[in-house]
Amino acid sequence: MSKSTQQDRREFLQKLSHSFAAGSMAALLPQLALMPKAFAQTTRSPAGSGYKALVCIYLTGANDSFNWLMPRDSESIGSHYDRYRSARGGVYSGTNTAGLAHAFADILPINPSNQASAFGLHPACTDFTAGAQSHSGIQTLFNTGKAAFVCNAGTLLAPISKTQYDGGAPRPAQLFSHNDQAMQWQIGTSKIDPVSRFGWGGRVLRSLNRPPLSNGLSPAVSVAGATRYLLGDQITPYKIASNGVNTINNYAAASNNNFQAQRRALLNDLLDDSYVQPFSKEYATLMQRSLLVGDDLAVRLAAATGNVSTVFPTGNSLADQLKMVARMIKIGKNELSAQRQVFFVNYGSFDLHDGMFAAGQPVASSGHGGFLTALNQAVGAFWSALNEIGAQDEVTSFTMSDFGRTLTGNGNGSDHAWGGNLMVLGGAVAGNKLYGTYPRMVLNSNDDAAKDWSFSRGQYIPTTAVDQVAATLAKWMGITDTSAMNAILPNLDAFTARDLGFMV
């Protein structure tokens, strides 16, 4: 197939996209060779469209998030910080290497407007420069109302107290298991049917009836490989590497080397053939789409319009991924008429059974601090890039992680626990606040009135569910219909609040 036929195909795809907006897909174009059929039947599109995107930053291995967001009221005996310090075995130091707490003076102050006392962030969350460019860190983003934290969130089948837990009340399957908990976070609920295939990111896109973009690109894009989070019914995430698209080697249509152009033509021809056997047909379709979308994106990414001038930190794989997300948002908005996109990146492993601190190294940038520094700088540079492309109010980023970690240590690290803190960031976030309930930082806590429940090592029972976090973000993306929301998050009604209120 020649280049001109490829151009025809691109125009064909653009026509498809416009038809979706018009809602008369099936009548206009009988052949849907590259598009999933079901999209032709639905006509909903979100009210007040514009552009919105979610960016899921998955912290693999379970982030010790009670050392990311900490109490910082005072050092007096009996203060919240004092309880935190005591529960974590004292401040880490050369003479207390088993301690996991941060020194009061090291914690970066934040003053959430909806809390009676002060809190603080890990020392890694500072402003910083990359190259010659200054960026805000998470502390500044929080203090300027762009970031918020959801406290003690986790997987739940229903709210559960410690007494109920001990009495055998239902709790999520396979607590403390990385794979299983990660799956529940990505599916958005612990009430999973046995073969839950779809993640809540994919379900949101499906519910919003988001077809592929005008160049065939899926509205779901992962820069971190295969992820259940983005899978949806008729939604197949597009996987892109942080350094660009995968275009096939040795088959360049423009190359005379080793008959590449001719072999590419033959390959295109074979892929374009009619196949009756459904598996051959699907392989051909997928391969063809991969080549077309890949070639299309490669051109866009190579142009200045597909790049950002924001300087990202180097040697930081999360920063690399988020830079690609920024470029894809720019391209999506400016060139592909994208309206709703969901992105997935990940970083880790945070599974610090040991190595929470490194002897003789600065706390801010070593051990757990090393990971949080990378996170802080990736997020901070991403925020600057969103400013550059004018999308800060349109893009909401959030972290997820397998679970929180034990308050008490095991000698030089923490172990698997349950509830933890996550961050949401965006112009549309009602920032400078803590949502949910920050735990009292007590071991074996059993306070029904305060809803403060923990086990012997300070493993906190979550008081906000994954479902609720997902619902709040889904609503911002445009899911306003109750039954649509229940289809995405089938267990949402087990919890009181369907909207945690952290989006403006």
| Binding of other proteins by 282 (CB under 8 A) | yes
3 near other proteins, judged by CB under 8 A? no
Compute how many other C-beta atoms are within 10 angstroms of the C-beta atom of residue 456.
9
CB of 413 to other proteins, least distance (A): 16
Q: How many residues bind other proteins (CB under 8 A)?
A: 61
- Cβ closer to other proteins: 301 or 379? 301
Sketch the per residue contact string, 384 through 413, with other proteins: x for CB under 8 A, - otherwise: ------------------------------
Give the footprint of other proteins on residues 442-501 (CB under 8 A).
455-456
Give 194 or 315: the residue with its C-beta nearer to other proteins. 194
The CA-to-CA distance between both ends of the chain, in Å, stands at 50
Q: What b/e sequence results for 187-201 when a residue is b if at least 16 CB atoms lie within 10 Å of its CB, and e otherwise? A: bbbbbbeeebebbbb
User: Is 426:157 a contact under the CB 8 Å cutoff?
Assistant: no
x/- site string to other proteins, residues 240 to 279, per CB under 8 A? Answer: xx---xxxxxxx-----xxx--xx--xx-xxx-x-xxxxx
| DSSP letter (8 states) at residue 366 | S
Phi–psi pair at 305, nearest 5 degrees: -70, -15
What residue has token string 């059993």?
446
Tell me which residues in 214-233 interact with other proteins (CB under 8 A). Answer: 225-226, 233
Instruction: Tally Cβ neighbours within 10 Å of residue 96.
Output: 12
Select from 80-88, 280-288, 322-330, 340-348 the region that touches other proteins (CB under 8 A): 280-288
Q: Is 352 one of the binding residues for other proteins (CB under 8 A)?
A: no
Q: Are strands 340-347 and 220-222 parallel, antiparallel or unpaired?
A: parallel
Nearer to other proteins, 61 or 120 (CB): 61
Phi and psi (nearest 5°) for 179? Answer: -60, -45
Taking residues 151 to 190 in sequence order and writing x for each that binds other proteins by CB under 8 A, - otherwise, the string is ---------------x---x--xx--xxx-----------
What letters, b where the CB count within 10 A reaches 16 and e where it falls short, cover 273-295? eeeeeeeeeeebeeebbbbbbbb
**From CA 332, how far away is CA 214, in angstroms rounded?**
9
Q: Which is nearer to other proteins, 283 or 302 (CB)?
A: 283
Tell me whether residue 104 or residue 251 sits nearer to other proteins (CB atom): 251
For residue 283, state whether it binds other proteins (rule: CB under 8 A).
yes
Q: Do you find a cis peptide bond into 349, omega within 30 degrees of 0?
A: yes
Helix residue ranges, H only, 91-146: 138-143
Nearer to other proteins, 294 or 436 (CB): 294
Taking CB under 8 A as the binding criterion, the range among 44-52, 148-156, 192-200, 419-427 that sits at the site for other proteins is: 192-200
Q: How many CA within 13 A on the CB side of residue 344? A: 27
The site for other proteins (CB under 8 A) is made up of 36-37, 166, 170, 173-174, 177-179, 194-195, 197, 225-226, 233-241, 245-251, 257-259, 262-263, 266-267, 269-271, 273, 275-287, 289-291, 293-294, 455-456
